[in-house]
Amino acid sequence: MDYLKSRLNPDISYTALGKSTGLAQYVDVQSPWLWVCLGSVVFNPVFWNTVARNEYRNKSMTKIFGGPYNGTYVLAVIIFSLGIIRDLIYERTLLAQPVSPILATPLVRYTGAALFVVGQVLVVTSIYALGITGTYLGDYFGILMSHRVTSFPFNVLENPMYNGSTLCFLGTALWYARPAGVVITAVVFVVYEIALMYEGPFTSKIYSSAAAKKRSQEIKSTSTETAKTLETKANAAISSATPSGTSGTSSGTTTARQPLTSSTSYARAAAQPASSSGSGSTNPKPVPGLQELGLGAPVASPQPRVTRTRSRAGRVVDDD
Ligand SMILES: *[C@@H]1O[C@H](CO)[C@@H](O)[C@H](O)[C@H]1NC(C)=O
């Protein structure tokens, strides 16, 4: 907010800096700030990707900070701070760069403001949609999202956070009427595109290997099918024992059990709280407490669920 407040009236009087000729008229490559800024632009995604991949392989931050959630939050603070530092450097850099008379018009300026606002909206709504752990690489810590986020802005853009950040750079460049800002934005864009090429497949790999693990665990529990068969038989027994009514249904329905279809009992079994099975954690969502203790797996073992289904089918049989 300070960022905005102090910069609502930028100095875009280009007379002071516009004395040079040639390329230096637009971009002062001799300004050290320009190189510090480019360094920061490149450094940030390299940093978070390096740390995240190391985390996926070695779980270093998880160990140091006592759990994947703590690790993710610490990384979130670091990445967020690096972003603030980079933005401050960017602003400082722009102020040391020449103003272009082409850009120093109200139209360009307000276009810049609009782009900045759109960019901020994309970034903020992305963070809101993904949550802190989803935004700040929690998946590399083993905190997987249970489903793909499809709400705004992910319904309009594939990588709204990167698009939003790029728009903020461009908007700021136009606001300050600095061509150097447009050049830096182009570098930001390229750096983000490379980061996405690098991150995208890796994130997919994390999710597909987690899904494969879950599937193989489910295949192992073939007893689920046995339970299902038992239940079907039980239901058949119930319906044959019940005079499948025409006229005598009034007294019949009050006492007769409605046959459970396999799907309804499954839905009910799934809806049962994990504790009712009495066999420990069956919650398929990551449990922070367990995660921190290193006990909870992001993908729950389907074993307890099998027990639950079997016991449920058994109960149907026992009751009759
Ligand atoms: C932004 O979004 C478009 C798709 O609308 C995409 O092609 C582009 O590469 C994205 N990336 C960045 C960094 O802006």
Tell me the pLDDT band of 201, cut-offs 50, 70 and 90. confident
Rounded to the nearest whole angstrom, what is the distance from the C-alpha of residue 153 to the centroid of ligand 1?
Answer: 13
* Smallest CA separation from ligand 1 atom 2, residue: 163
Rounded distance, CA 164 to CA 169, Å?
9
Encoded tokens for 82:
């690096």
Task: Decide: 198 in ligand 1 pocket, CB within 6 A.
Answer: no
Place of tokens 């139209």: 107
The DSSP 8-state label assigned to residue 155 in this structure reads T
Encoded tokens for 205:
């790999």
Rounded distance, CA 15 to CA 38, Å?
26
pTM for the model stands at 0.66
Q: Which atom of ligand 1 is nearest to the CA of 163?
A: 14
Rounded distance, CA 311 to CA 305, Å?
10
pLDDT tens, 207-262? 888 888 888 888 877 555 555 565 666 666 656 654 443 443 333 333 333 333 33
